[in-house]
Amino acid sequence: MSSDPEMRTPPPYAVSSVDHALRVAVMLQMEGEVSVTQVAARLGVARSTAHRLLAMLVYRDFAVQDETRTYRVGPVLRLPEHSRSLTARMREAAFPHLRQVVRDLEESANLFIRAGATSRCIASVECDRALRVSSREGMVFPVHRTSAGLLLLAELASEELPSVFADEDPEDRPDLARLGAELARIRRAGFAVNRGRSERGIVAVGVPLRSADGEAIAGVCVSMPSVRYARDALPRIVQVLQDASHACASDLGYR
């Protein structure tokens, strides 16, 4: 994985059917099951199109269809059951609150989890502005280059950091002393700001989503073009994100 951050933009000759199929695959992997109606609504396509996409995923073992005609994650995409269950619950709880973040801040909102030395977006809601950060759902980034990843790393003891990056190529490993100092500041602040570290031209702000025992299990983030980021707006951004995080935790049964 290259450590050089660059702005994610669609390829010049994007194939919409391929993009749709990949997005459905992500839905299946993260949520475990979907219906034709759900896929059609989420992608903004006709039911017949959604049915054809799901049929192809079944053919390639990315999905299976049960007796209720619901489509479930197939063997190619199957995650450990406990992982899938928690991820699905977090996604379901997060979406309405991510939409509220978008309404409040008029910028795109995301939910990220950590997987080793990477952070993965498991839920994303785009704003409707012409210049915006598009959906990052399913995308994976180096954990130390995202606001959510930094928040989740900040939960670790300093002696745990080396093991996170032990399997990474040497050129991709961060300076652990410098990273440790940054993580200490993030722990004190309770939020993280990423200015172009994962993608050039994009600023992201994140706060932790905490479980009942106080463990940070995900990051609730907002992403925007850097030209629209203003430092004096940071307190309001953080407050909106914290409200969303607390509401999501409450819906998950965490107090």
| Helix, strand, coil % in the chain, rounded to nearest 5 | 45, 20, 35
Q: Are 16-73 and 81-251 the same fold in CATH?
A: no
Q: DSSP H helical segments within 12-146, as ranges?
A: 16-31, 36-43, 47-59, 81-105
Is 172 a residue whose pLDDT tops 90?
A: no
State the pLDDT at residue 166: 86
How far is 103 from 208, CA to CA, in rounded Å? 20
Task: Average the pLDDT over 180-205 and give the result.
Answer: 95
How far is 81 from 21, CA to CA, in rounded Å? 23
Helix axes 47-59, 36-43, angle to 10 degrees: 110
What amino acid occupies position 199? Answer: E
Task: Average the pLDDT over 89-95 and give the result.
Answer: 93
Is 138 a residue whose pLDDT tops 50?
A: yes
State the pLDDT at residue 3: 41
Query: What is the residue-averaged pLDDT of the chain?
Result: 89
Task: Average the pLDDT over 92-103 and give the result.
Answer: 97
Share of the chain above pLDDT 90, in %: 67
| Token output for 215 | 């463990």
How far is 226 from 209, CA to CA, in rounded Å? 24
Is 8 a residue whose pLDDT tops 70?
A: no
Task: Average the pLDDT over 108-133 and give the result.
Answer: 94
Report, at the CATH architecture level, how domain 16-73 is classified. Answer: Orthogonal Bundle (1.10)
Question: Which residue ranges make up each domain of the chain?
Answer: 16-73, 81-251
Is 123 a residue whose pLDDT tops 50?
A: yes
Q: Which CATH class is domain 81-251?
A: alpha beta
